[in-house]
Structure 1
Amino acid sequence: MARRSANVTQGVEKAPMRSLFYAMGYTKEELDRPLIAVVSAHSEIVPGHYHLDKITEAVKAGVRMAGGTPIMVPAIGVCDGIAMGHIGMKYSLASRELIADSVETMTQAHAFDGLVLVPNCDKIVPGMVMAAVRMNVPTVVCSGGPMMAGLVDEEDISLSKIFEAVGARKANLIDDQKLEEFEQGCCPGCGSCAGMYTANSMNCLCEALGIALPGNGTIPAVHNGRIRLAKYAGAAIMNLVEKDIKARDIINERSVRNALRCDMALGCSSNSVLHLLAIANEAGVPLDLKMFNEESERTPNLCHLAPAGETHMQDLNIAGGIAAVQSELAKKDMLDLEVMTATGKTLGENLQGVKNKKPDTIRPIENPYSETGGIAILFGNVAPEGCVVKRSAVAPEMLKHSGPARVFNCEEEAIAAIYDGKIVAGDVVVIRYEGPKGGPGMREMLNPTSALAGMKLDKTVALITDGRFSGASRGASIGHVCPEAANGGNIGLLQEGDIIEINIPEYSIQVRVSDAEFEKRRSSYVAPEPNIKTGWLGRYGKLVDSAAKGAIMKQDF
């Protein structure tokens, strides 16, 4: 089989291209080997990426040991925590498309034979994977690994606790000194924040999809095992290139089903819905929101990692990692064990001898936290096309809730009302015009949800939005409402005091407003103008599709 890199390294007519490689110090021998792009999102602004230069070098060593020529190329990455609560968060989800397009650009322009993707945080992981399946080239994901949990008052904590501490301080439940303790103690070093937030969710789901080696989702960033894993990833890509095992040979309808079931068992971030939809779209795999509920109905929830519980990624790693979760699911034939993986072996082969070492971290499938999965999709006249909730992080008393709507047209209005004590037990906070188009950019609402939790209102107040939530959010936080307000959705027609009824076990979200009343309101309603019309976000707002489709770029323009 001819190598892709032959287009830039082989034959008389490629002499000009070779001369440019020689300008960078490459040797003839290196150009005669497969060229492997090591796509690194290393930067000095994202804690999860701060150490990726070390991971990248280890991957390159593994490629060289296996007979290839590694070539580092860069990728961008937004730190969602730093971007939270201001205009920066509008760029976060949108950056996923920039990342996918840039990886495609660099790969196709330089004819790489294979890819090792080195991301770690939220949009970077799915963005890179989307590009890999779009081009269908041999690919291995090697993430940077999770951060260790912090420690305050002899309790393991992670990023969600500092956001909640802000709410507690606003409510005078703690003082400045205690806030400072959380601030200094919650993030002790590099890595993706230590709970089952979006970054770790996607790194775990890369394992579940088979595109990453076992351990990718859970080996801590600071452990020596992470460096070894990176070297093995470099060697693994050479095996895939030699055997011509491409990204879509690994990510296909069967492995996506496996990933959905792992998602439900793990209790992943609600953002995993957006990203799995987008990855499936690029891979040509049919996937819709109803399929998430189908898998949720049949897949038990086995893990309650932060923010749903008190355990963190390091605990999941000690328990045996994603492989141990998969082994529990395999007990009841809930996974397709014949799918191909990045190891060059089937999932079943990878799971040989794997055991659940900590049943208090990974519940045995015979004794789950719940018989249903960690994510639910709700439908009703508030969200005819669906909305998403991380069910495993909702207090039992909030699984069913009815209360008056408190309506806000942006996150800033809502957070000001929460901090001012204007939200009371029983309310349903509605934040709209924060969807993919209306934001533009579909901001995460971690500040409002954390403020409610810090003020001890997370068990009495619900929040719904056409925006989305951080994986660090907990409580009855219902996002991705579709159609969004900016697309004429009913969420844009809700009024102060409307009674909203939430029934998560029945996958329902309704407001006591008749169709006739909605039409009356629609006839006189004027939507606000988009708050950003220029630059990249202006273009994004015009081209982005519904969150129900993964907030992908429209294909019919």
Structure 2
Amino acid sequence: MAKIINPFSIKLTKNNTLPAAQAMLYATGLTEDDFNKAQVGIVSNWYEGNPCNMHLNLISNKIKSSVKKYGMVGFKFNTIGISDGMSMGTSGMRYSLPSRELIADSIESVVKAQHYDGLIGIPGCDKNIPGIVMAMLRINRPSILVYGGSISSGYYNGKKLNIVSAFEALGEKNIGKISELEYKNIIKHACPGPGACGGMYTANTMASCIEAMGMTIPYSSSSLANSNFKKKECVNIGFYIKKILKKNIKPLDIITNTSIKNAITLAIALGGSTNLVIHILAIAKTANIDLKLDDIQNINNNVPIIANLKPSGDFLMEDIQSLGGIPIIIKYLLKEGYIEGDCMTVTGKTIKKNLENIPDISFNQKIIYPLLNPIKKNGHIRILYGNLAPEGAVAKITGKEGDLFSGFAQVFNSENSANEAIINNKIKKGDVIVIRYVGPKGGPGMPEMLKPTSYIMGANLGKKIALITDGRFSGGSHGFVVGHITPEAQNGGLIALIENGDIIIIDAINNTITLKITKKEIKIRKKKFIAPLLKVNSGYLYKYSNTVSSASNGCVTDKL
């Protein structure tokens, strides 16, 4: 138990050699009594331009009131956010993954410079979550994450909608499946209010992971943005931050090799986003935990998919909330021996203790399946190796696409050129679309590509073609797709040497991805290869492209 709960802020409030700092604290409205209290930074990724983030300032206000109620001083501040959904398919998407590093850097800078004793982080969209957690690990002071929550489903013409409905509607319109009017109405009704995208896409995947890891209080990941559950969480959060300040429970006490494996296990059981891989690798690296691609694959091999959630399933996070929330699923996995219960959490209790009064799951529903009768007997995340990816690639294979694909390469050096080919019906059955020079360095920023996968699904090509890339996919992507191919094209990886008509074989049983050409031909092509100039030569993306590690190392910039 810590003797004092304000060991950092006291360096400003009680240091007689810092009168200017104290004068400025008085200017913020602090009283003499406040100088004896712990100071908690309350950071959100609030901004008005994105439904995932537009409500976070309201949450931040509620949390500040809770911090004050429990006898501490809360100081709100903001960090940035990038809307993945809005930037998807544009040059702006190159900033999405790099924003994770900016988020972590900015939070670390404020908390350490301002001497805050603890931190409460409030993320909304995808990169917000790992960015905040990475900052918490670097700072390593008592910290809690409060997820901004998921959006409620949209509704039109008797069907529930979500953000992916809008992307796939364009493919449906292009093949004449829906009218222009239906297309417009789907777009208008897909996002009814605040909250992150509703399926088991990247934001909800990472929020669920962080809850399983112990960095949120129970139910945070499955409480919708506009729900009473979320309001109650905010009202009570002051109690929990004070408790872990008193006990001096820090992120590095919570995020361990075991708790990270718990997080991966839950994400696989839920059928989560492949972006889990780069974010969990980055979190592990920040925590100095030795985690490799093969460790993720080993967990994947032994964890069934039990959640019938979008994008490949039928339900949304709002249905998980109605079922009883993520804790019910974690408890089920704990009881069946898939999750370790002795890990510490931000409640000051272990995972097992947190779940003692959580009800058992009922299988009289179609959202979560029993482990003995799963949707898929092992996980959907496949770490592939082969001559195309000697350092690894990541596939999301749910089983609906099949386990083996062999086809002829159609090569594109940008996402836009691939999108044009799909929309103009230039892709045919048996093709393997290759999108390259979109990796962490070559993109730069490893942009997500929900557009091409959505166009493919909307055009009913999901089981007929494959797509491979050194970029990555949105959590909303589905189909026979392989991303994160490493080494990337910009660094001279074999993906840079593929030519139209080459045979590519993707084997999700043996976890291999192979370019079917001879070693002699590879040598000939390598001699001719000249890496293109970087797409940028100034600004943040230029700095990022010169410092970022590979996808197989989490795309971090501070530990190369």
- Superposed pair shares fold, TM > 0.5: yes
- Give the Cα separation in 2 of the matches to 1:513 and 1:381: 10
- Give the Cα separation in 2 of the matches to 1:524 and 1:510: 21
Cα distance, 1:175 vs structure 2: 1.4
Of residues 202-211 and 7-16 in structure 1, the stretch that sits farther from structure 2 once superposed is: 7-16
- Give the Cα separation in 2 of the matches to 1:477 and 1:101: 32
Q: SS at the partner of 1:405? A: strand
Which residue of the other structure, out of 348, 354, 361, is the alignment partner of 1:356? Answer: 361
Of residues 411-420 and 223-232 in structure 1, the stretch that sits farther from structure 2 once superposed is: 223-232
Contact 2:341 2:351 survives alignment (8 Å): yes
Which residue of the other structure, out of 303, 320, 324, is the alignment partner of 2:324? Answer: 320
- Give the Cα separation in 1 of the matches to 2:369 and 2:18: 57
Q: Which position in structure 2 is the counterpart of 1:395?
A: 400
Q: SS at the partner of 1:47? A: coil
- Give the Cα separation in 1 of the matches to 2:415 and 2:198: 25
Contact 2:108 2:135 survives alignment (8 Å): yes
Contact 1:144 1:192 survives alignment (8 Å): yes
Which residue of the other structure, out of 260, 278, 290, is the alignment partner of 1:274? Answer: 278
CA deviation map 1:425-452 (0-9, x unaligned): 1111000000000001101111100000
- Give the Cα separation in 2 of the matches to 1:71 and 1:101: 18
Q: Which position in structure 1 is the counterpart of 2:8?
A: 4
Q: Which position in structure 2 is the counterpart of 1:366?
A: 372
Q: Which position in structure 1 is the counterpart of 2:226?
A: 222
Give the TM-score normalised by the residue count of structure 1. 0.97
- Give the Cα separation in 1 of the matches to 2:326 and 2:336: 16
Cα distance, 1:176 vs structure 2: 0.6
Q: SS at the partner of 1:12? A: coil
Q: Which amino acid aligns with 2:432?
A: V
Is the aligned partner of 1:376 residue 2:376? no
Q: Which position in structure 2 is the counterpart of 1:107?
A: 111
Q: Which amino acid aligns with 2:294?
A: K
Q: Which amino acid aligns with 2:499?
A: Q
Q: Which position in structure 1 is the counterpart of 2:128?
A: 124
Is the aligned partner of 1:552 residue 2:543? no
Which residue of the other structure, out of 534, 540, 551, is the alignment partner of 2:538? Answer: 534
Contact 2:502 2:515 survives alignment (8 Å): yes
Q: Which amino acid aligns with 1:190?
A: P
- Give the Cα separation in 2 of the matches to 1:143 and 1:65: 21
Q: SS at the partner of 2:485? A: strand
Contact 1:141 1:233 survives alignment (8 Å): no
Q: Which position in structure 1 is the counterpart of 2:202?
A: 198
- Give the Cα separation in 2 of the matches to 1:116 and 1:404: 50
Q: Which amino acid aligns with 1:478?
A: V
- Give the Cα separation in 2 of the matches to 1:506 and 1:188: 43
Q: Which amino acid aligns with 1:198?
A: T
Cα distance, 1:353 vs structure 2: 3.3
Cα distance, 1:26 vs structure 2: 1.4
- Give the Cα separation in 2 of the matches to 1:195 and 1:230: 23
CA deviation map 1:75-116 (0-9, x unaligned): 100000111111100000001000000000001000100000
Which residue of the other structure, out of 29, 46, 52, is the alignment partner of 1:25? Answer: 29
- Give the Cα separation in 2 of the matches to 1:111 and 1:351: 34
Cα distance, 1:308 vs structure 2: 1.1
User: Do the aligned partners of residues 238 and 418 (structure 1) sit closer, same or farther apart at CA in structure 2, a change above 3 Å counting?
Assistant: same
Cα distance, 1:391 vs structure 2: 2.1
- Give the Cα separation in 2 of the matches to 1:554 and 1:315: 39
Q: Which position in structure 1 is the counterpart of 2:465?
A: 461
- Give the Cα separation in 1 of the matches to 2:135 and 2:233: 22
- Give the Cα separation in 2 of the matches to 1:152 and 1:458: 24
Q: Which position in structure 1 is the counterpart of 2:525?
A: 521
Of residues 429-438 and 166-175 in structure 1, the stretch that sits farther from structure 2 once superposed is: 166-175
- Give the Cα separation in 2 of the matches to 1:233 and 1:521: 59
Q: Which position in structure 2 is the counterpart of 1:488?
A: 492
Contact 2:308 2:366 survives alignment (8 Å): no
- Give the Cα separation in 2 of the matches to 1:133 and 1:429: 39
Q: What is the total number of aligned residue pairs between the two structures?
A: 554
Cα distance, 1:357 vs structure 2: 4.0
- Give the Cα separation in 2 of the matches to 1:375 and 1:157: 25
Contact 1:405 1:496 survives alignment (8 Å): yes
Give the TM-score normalised by the residue count of structure 2. 0.97
Of residues 6-15 and 81-90 in structure 1, the stretch that sits farther from structure 2 once superposed is: 6-15
Cα distance, 1:51 vs structure 2: 0.7
- Give the Cα separation in 2 of the matches to 1:155 and 1:306: 14
Is the aligned partner of 1:246 residue 2:250? yes
Is the aligned partner of 1:418 residue 2:426? no
Cα distance, 1:370 vs structure 2: 1.3
Q: SS at the partner of 1:345? A: coil
- Give the Cα separation in 1 of the matches to 2:252 and 2:246: 16
Contact 1:328 1:365 survives alignment (8 Å): no
Cα distance, 1:554 vs structure 2: 5.4
Cα distance, 1:202 vs structure 2: 1.0
- Give the Cα separation in 1 of the matches to 2:172 and 2:423: 10
Contact 1:116 1:142 survives alignment (8 Å): yes
Q: What runs of 5+ residues in structure 1 fail to find an aligned partner?
A: none
Cα distance, 1:472 vs structure 2: 0.7
Cα distance, 1:42 vs structure 2: 1.1
Of residues 9-18 and 94-103 in structure 1, the stretch that sits farther from structure 2 once superposed is: 9-18
Cα distance, 1:120 vs structure 2: 1.3
Q: Which amino acid aligns with 1:373?
A: G
Q: What runs of 5+ residues in structure 2 fail to find an aligned partner?
A: none
